[in-house]
Chain A
């Protein structure tokens, strides 16, 4: 089993749609969690941290479920500019682990 697994995607959605990604992790001792966004052949950039209480930043909502060991990212009212690959990142006791990423394409 992979340490961090994401929805395989790709997700192709129309503008204005709501889309959700999930990510599961295997190590229950994991301490912190993040969503990064990566555009083609660019470095990943931090989108948001994920807290136990859930957190929201504009159209983006992230949630953590420690009991089931998964995190989620919800994007509302999707824009063309949201098209990218979304990476789930888990801070495990020894190092950071990345999911394989989920590709999102928002179409007009």
Chain B
């Protein structure tokens, strides 16, 4: 079955540590996105990529980094520069076009130890 897979489901970060969240899709989608969601809040865009080897900053990119070396994969690294990383992280993908629908992974809950 085609879909989008995030891992791990739960992740704990120590002070000063970088952690990487995985996002893989086999839907042959060009565009991929990372969102952050805080309790009781909407989704805020961290980074997005419309094509392999290219990505753009979203609204809250500081303290995060991404890569898009393969069409299927869009990992997100939460760096030590992100001082408040505890949140629910959602990866999504879509076909490029004027009527895109987003397909979401099941999310990663990141907490700080």
List chain A positions with a Cβ less than 8 A from chain B. Answer: 6, 31-32, 34, 36, 41-46, 49, 87, 89, 91, 94-101, 103
Are A95 and B58 CB-contacts (below 8 A) given A42-B106, A100-B42?
Answer: yes
Contact of A96 among B41, B56, B100, B109 (CB under 8 A): B100
Return the 8 tightest CB-CB contacts between A and B, nearest first.
Answer: A100-B42, A43-B104, A98-B43, A32-B99, A31-B98, A101-B42, A98-B42, A43-B106
Q: Could you tell me if A96 and B94 are in contact, using CB atoms closer than 8 angstroms? A: yes
List chain B positions with a Cβ less than 8 A from chain A. Answer: 33, 35, 40-45, 48, 56, 58, 88, 90, 92, 94, 98-102, 104-107, 109
Q: Of residues A87, A89, A103, which shows the largest number of chain B Cβ atoms within 10 Å of its Cβ?
A: A89
Q: Which residue of B lies closest to A95 (CB)?
A: B48
- A99–B42 CA distance with the chains assembled, in angstroms: 6
Q: Of residues B43, B44, B90, B99, which shows the largest number of chain A Cβ atoms within 10 Å of its Cβ?
A: B43
Q: Could you tell me if B42 and A32 are in contact, using CB atoms closer than 8 angstroms? A: no
Contact of A44 among B56, B98, B99, B104 (CB under 8 A): B104
Given contacts A46-B102, A95-B48, A103-B40, 14 further A-B contacts (CB under 8 A): A31-B98, A34-B101, A41-B109, A43-B104, A43-B105, A43-B106, A44-B102, A49-B99, A49-B101, A87-B43, A96-B33, A96-B45, A96-B94, A101-B41
- What residues on A are CB-neighbors of B58 within 8 Å? 95
- A95–B33 CA distance with the chains assembled, in angstroms: 9
